[in-house]
Amino acid sequence: MLVVDDEHALLLSYRLILEQNGYEVTTASTADEAESLLDHQHYDLLLCDLTLERHNGGLDVIRHARKRDPLLGCLLLTGYPDAELSDEVKKDGTHTLFKPVEVPKLLETVKFMLRARRQTAPPPQDRERRKG
């Protein structure tokens, strides 16, 4: 999975928590870095902070990711509870967690989203054919 946050301490915490629970994690600290990784690597899940180096940069990263893989599970992490934003991102299946994120809730959500991804994603060979 790809985890994106511009706060280094949080990024490191997410990575350690997820890796200690058996997940393979790649990290990025900017929208540009995340988009580049998404262009060159396949991920089963994207966890992304809302406000990166630009306002709502996380939404830009999610839009970019969904262009590459419409079925990609996306989890938006934000410290700014906003019902309008939450409703907007739910329309395309993006989940939202509000900071500070409780570890059990993070792990529960990741597990749920990966399970859903496995049930809806085409086999890897079909994914590759669609990209070409």
Instruction: Note the pLDDT tens digit of each residue in 97-112.
Output: 988 999 999 999 999 9
Whether the per-residue pLDDT at 126 is higher than 50: the answer is no
Average pLDDT score over residue span 63-87: 83
What pLDDT sits at residue 130? 38
Q: Which residue has the tokens 């994120």?
A: 101
Q: What does pTM read for this prediction?
A: 0.85
Confidence of residue 87 (pLDDT cuts 50, 70, 90): low
